[in-house]
Amino acid sequence: MKQLVTAAAAISLLAGGSLVAGDYGKVVIDDKAPIECKPDPAFCSIFDLGELYEGDGFVSSVSIVGRYHGQNQSNTLTLDNGAVLGASYWEHRRFRLGTSIEFANGWEFFNNWNISDGRGSDSANEELYEGDFFGTIDEMYLKGKIAGIGVQVGKQKQKITREFSTSSKRILTVERSHIVNEIADNKPWGVQLSKELFGVKHKIGFWNYGLYVEGPSGQAGPHTADLDGRTGFSYNLELPLTDSTDLFFDYVFTDTESGTVDPEGAADDSDASAYNHAFAIGTESSWDIDHCREWGLITDIIWGLDRRADGVTNQEYGNDSIARGEDTFGLVILGHYDVTQKLEFVAKYSYASLSRLQRPQRRDNLGNIPRFNLQDVHTFYTGLNYRICGDNLKLMAGYEYLTADLNNNGQGVTGDSWVLGIRSYF
């Protein structure tokens, strides 16, 4: 009996205020049950059907992967001279199919192709892949570990800025920011090596920017590696600052003087960034609201130095192409808040000192909006995301307001974009 009493007293002392609070002897019982998140609807299990095989042999799993992103958007651009340009249409934004093969040793082979849909999953030109089912290679790589070092070889995304590093399956806005699209590449071929040292994650990459080649329809085909193409290097750092915030540094070097170049020096003739050097310093933070909801903040400060000639001009509105050697600077501030477990509110501000007109305004399959060259670009975005089956199936609605000046002209331009999209992947 003495031992039992002693044990009970010890437990009470160890528990401290969790069992006794306020007046001595007044027991407080926490009768709050743990919060249980609302499960996704039963039909969401359809997104697990892509796995064709799972076993214990040399090949551990085989899956079909893909995504479809479609959106209806209405764009209007108003110039100081009174000109009003605009379009409203449905766009098959992304349509991709591929396979993922995982091996028992932890390695994975992944490939994903852009599918021609006659309306622009891979290009704004309807005739680009007319008659072809597969368009271009989106990604194709082999990844695993060798002696504790992560290795990824093939066509893949360079990690630069928080928005571009985040897959299109999970981005928080319908489109990425002007400054991000301005300095990012187009998933080149190369090898990336990653290693965590002293709590800091490091990643280095070596790149070959293959040129577009002629496809079966006589138009641009798969983005293949090209030994005569441009070369590059990248470095990424990820450092935890607190339990809720990580710091990122990204750098990409592109040797814009090497390799074969289109006679006009067109920027779109390779998978490379249009800038010799691209930097980004950013943070990513998230905090729990409750067990099922969170809010977060993403920031990026971005530079692009020494742009190569891009050969695109539009004399009708007095804006020449962005000249070789130009630099750009920008920033992105993006906040998101889970109103409910399913409904997410997003707000974003971005700035670019110099940029060609980027998405969503330039996604004009009807040809009514020129690819303006802009300076002092400010965009303000607000939107709602409704996650029906998490990121596997969600609806996205957003409005973006743009204000800028035409480069080399000084004429002002404002823009309104309304976008309603569906995002799905398996």
Q: Is 235 exposed, middle or buried (0-12, 13-18, 19+ CB in 10 A)?
A: middle
- Write 390-394 long-range contacts (CB < 8 A, 24+): 390/40, 390/44, 391/169, 391/170, 391/423, 391/425, 392/44, 392/47, 392/424, 392/425, 392/426, 393/44, 393/47, 393/422, 393/423, 393/424, 394/422, 394/423, 394/424
d(CA 278, CA 255): 12
Sole residue written with tokens 């990604």: 139
Q: In the prediction, which pLDDT does 325 show?
A: 82
CA trace torsion 266, 271, 277, 278 (10° rounding): 120
C-alpha distances (whole Å) from 297 to each of 176, 290, 291 are 15, 17, 18
Q: In the prediction, which pLDDT does 34 show?
A: 59
Q: With CA atoms as reference, report the closest residue to 358 among 183, 136, 108.
A: 183
Q: What is the pLDDT along the chain (426 residues), one digit of tens a residue?
A: 445 334 444 433 333 333 333 344 444 444 555 568 888 999 999 999 999 999 998 999 999 999 999 999 899 999 888 888 888 888 888 899 999 999 998 999 999 988 865 444 444 344 444 555 666 788 999 999 999 999 999 999 889 999 999 999 999 999 999 999 999 887 888 999 999 999 999 999 999 876 554 444 444 444 666 666 678 899 999 999 999 999 999 999 988 665 444 434 443 446 678 889 999 999 999 999 988 999 999 999 999 999 875 544 444 554 456 777 889 999 999 999 999 999 999 999 999 999 988 888 875 555 567 778 889 999 999 999 999 999 999 999 999 999 999 876 778 999 999 999 999 999
DSSP H helices, 91-203, are: 162-165, 178-183
Sole residue written with tokens 């630069």: 160
| Domain 67-91+151-425 classification at class level | mainly beta
Chain centroid, CA 106 distance in Å: 25
Map residue 203 onto helix, strand or coil: strand
The H or E element containing residue 4 is: helix 2-15
Q: In the prediction, which pLDDT does 216 show?
A: 44
Q: In the prediction, which pLDDT does 142 show?
A: 97
Contact criterion met (CB below 8 Å) for 272 and 304: no
C-alpha distances (whole Å) from 252 to each of 28, 222, 293, 358, 364 are 58, 23, 35, 20, 29
Q: In the prediction, which pLDDT does 400 show?
A: 97
DSSP H helices, 359-402, are: none
Radius of gyration of the chain (CA): 25
Question: What does pTM read for this prediction?
Answer: 0.81
Say which DSSP state 47 is in: G
| Longest CA–CA separation in the chain, Å | 97
d(CA 151, CA 145): 6
Q: In the prediction, which pLDDT does 26 show?
A: 46
Map residue 327 onto helix, strand or coil: coil
Q: In the prediction, which pLDDT does 404 show?
A: 93
Contact criterion met (CB below 8 Å) for 135 and 122: yes
Q: In the prediction, which pLDDT does 208 show?
A: 84
- Write 395-401 long-range contacts (CB < 8 A, 24+): 395/420, 395/421, 395/422, 395/423, 396/71, 396/173, 396/174, 396/420, 396/421, 396/422, 396/423, 397/421, 398/173, 398/174, 398/346, 400/175, 400/360, 400/361
Contact criterion met (CB below 8 Å) for 188 and 209: yes
Domain positions in the chain: 1-31, 67-91+151-425
Strands (E), 178-327: 189-197, 200-209, 212-214, 220-223, 230-240, 245-254, 275-290, 293-307
Map residue 358 onto helix, strand or coil: coil
Torsion angles phi and psi, residue 42, rounded to 5: -60, -35
d(CA 45, CA 389): 9
Contact criterion met (CB below 8 Å) for 122 and 128: yes
